[in-house]
Amino acid sequence: MSSESATTKKKFKMPHIYVLLVSIIIICAIASWILPAGEFERALNDAGREMVVPGTYHIIESTPVGFFTLVQSLYNGTVDAAGVTFFVFISYASIGLIIASGAFNGLVASMLRVLKGSARAVIIPVFITLIGCASSTIGVFEEMFPFIPIFVGISIAMGYDAIVGLAIVALGTGLGYSGAVMNPFTVGMAQSIADIPQMSGAGFRIICHLVLIAVASVYVVRYALKIQADPSKSLVYGDNFDSLTMDSDNIENERFGIREKLVLATLVVGIIVIVWGTKTKGWYFAELSAVFLLMGLVSGFIMGWGPNVIAEKVAKSFSEIAVACMMIGIARGILVVLQAGHIIDTIVYYLSIPLSNLPGAISAIAMFLVQTGLNFFIPSGSGQAVTSMPIMAPLADLIGISRQSAVLAFQFGDGLSNIMWPTAMTPIICGIAGVKIDKWWKWFVPLFIALVITQSILMAVSIVVW
C-alpha cells in the first residue's frame, strides 16, 4: 500500500435520508427498552379536547418495541401520514402545471427588467415576511411546500442558488409559527390550554416576529449577494437543479402574455380561496387538495393543453416528489414507535423537572430550550401543545413567570425547529428543493444558533413585558 493511500482519510458521507430516518426509529425503539414506560392521566376540557392532567405522571407496564413492531412502524407511519403525503403529491403536481406554463418565468423576467444587481435581493425579506404573515395568522405550513420549487427557480434565475429559494419558504413558515399572532394550531391552542385570552400578548409577539425576520433576512441576503458575486461559493455549487432551474440566459426575454397572466391570476384567486376556506370554513387537506388541483387544471386549459399533455406533466411531477413524500411516512414512524413504547410522556416529564429549580428569566429560556428539544420527539404543533402546555402552564405559575411567557416558549420551540430537526419537516423541504440535507444544515445551523440566541433574549424580555 502506498504511503499516499495509507494517509488518505476517507471523507465522511452523509447517509441517505431514508437511512437517517430509519436509524432514528431504531434509536427510539432501543430507548423504549431503556426508559420507563409512563403516562399522564388525561381528561376532556370544556372544549371537548383531551388534555394532560399535571401532576399525574405515573409508571406503567413496560411496552418495549420489538423488531417486528419496529418494522411495522414504517408501514403504520406511512398510513398515519397519508393525509399530508397525498396533499403534497397533489399540490406539488398542480403547482408543477403552473410552473410549466412559463408564467413564473415571465414574472421573473418582468422583475429582472426592473431590479438590477444587488437591488434584486429585496425580494428575500419581502417574501419571507409575506409567507410569515400567512403562517402567523392562519397556520399554513405544509400548504407552502408546493411553492418551494417556484422560489428555488426564481432564486436561481436571479443569480442566487437553490438554498436561497428554499430559505425564503422555510424561514417564512418557520418564523411565522415562532412569532404567530393568531395561529389556531399553535398559539390559539396553547393559550386556550393555558387559560389566557385568545390574541392576548399579540403586540409583543408581532415585535418578536419582526425581529426574527430581520435577523434571518440579513443572513440570507448576505449569502445571496455572495453567491451572486461568485457562484462557486454556493454550498450547492455543481449540484443538478435542471428540473427547477429557469433559463437565466433568456429569462428577461420570456413571454409574459395574457395566458401567463391569467395563470398567475388563477394562482392568486386560488390562494385567496385557500385563506378564506382555512380561516372561515376550517378546511384541511381534502379541501385544500381540491383547490390546488383545480388551480393546476384551469392553468393547463388556459395554456391550451389537452388532457393527455396535462396527465403527462402530472405524472412527471409525481415521480419528482415521490422520494420526499415517502420521507413524510418514514418520519411519522418515529412517532409511532415512541407511542408504542409509551415513552413520550416520560420524556416530557423528565424534561420538565429541571425547570422547577431555575429562577426567573433563566427558567423562561430553559423552558424554551426544552420545548425546542421536545419538538424533536413531537414534531406536531398541536400535539406538542396538548402534551406540554398542561405541564408548562402550571409550572410557569410555580416558578413565578407569566403564562404568556410559557406560551411564547412553546411557540419559539415549535416553530423554528421544524426546519431543523430531521424528525420534523427538514427532510421533506430539502427533498422538494433538491437540496441535500447535510448542505442545508451546513448553511442553516449558524442561522439557527443566531435565532435561538435572539429568541432567548426575547424570552428574557418577555419576563419584564408580561
292-305 pLDDT, tens digit per residue, is 899 999 999 999 99
In this prediction, residues 351-377 reach a mean pLDDT of 81
87 closest CA partner among 144, 49, 32, 41: 144
Q: Is the pLDDT of residue 205 over 70?
A: yes
- 98, 296 Cβ separation under 8 angstroms: yes
CA-atom Rg of the chain in angstroms: 23
212 closest CA partner among 10, 25, 383, 411: 411
Cell of 411: 411557540
Tell me the torsion sign for CA atoms 299, 303, 308, 309: negative
- 225, 121 Cβ separation under 8 angstroms: yes
Instruction: Count the Cβ atoms, other than its own, within 10 Å of residue 252.
Output: 13
In this prediction, residues 205-233 reach a mean pLDDT of 94
Chain segment 92-138, per-residue pLDDT in tens:
888 788 878 878 777 767 766 766 666 678 888 988 998 888 788 76
Task: Find residue 190's DSSP bridge partners.
Answer: none
Q: Is the pLDDT of residue 172 over 90?
A: yes
Instruction: Count the Cβ atoms, other than its own, within 10 Å of residue 429.
Output: 27
With cut-offs at 50, 70 and 90, classify the pLDDT of residue 90.
confident
Q: In the prediction, which pLDDT does 43 show?
A: 80
- What percent of the chain stands above pLDDT 90? 31
pTM of whole model > 0.85?
no
- 362, 356 Cβ separation under 8 angstroms: no
Mean pLDDT for the chain overall = 83
- 128, 169 Cβ separation under 8 angstroms: no
Q: In the prediction, which pLDDT does 319 show?
A: 86
Q: In the prediction, which pLDDT does 317 show?
A: 86
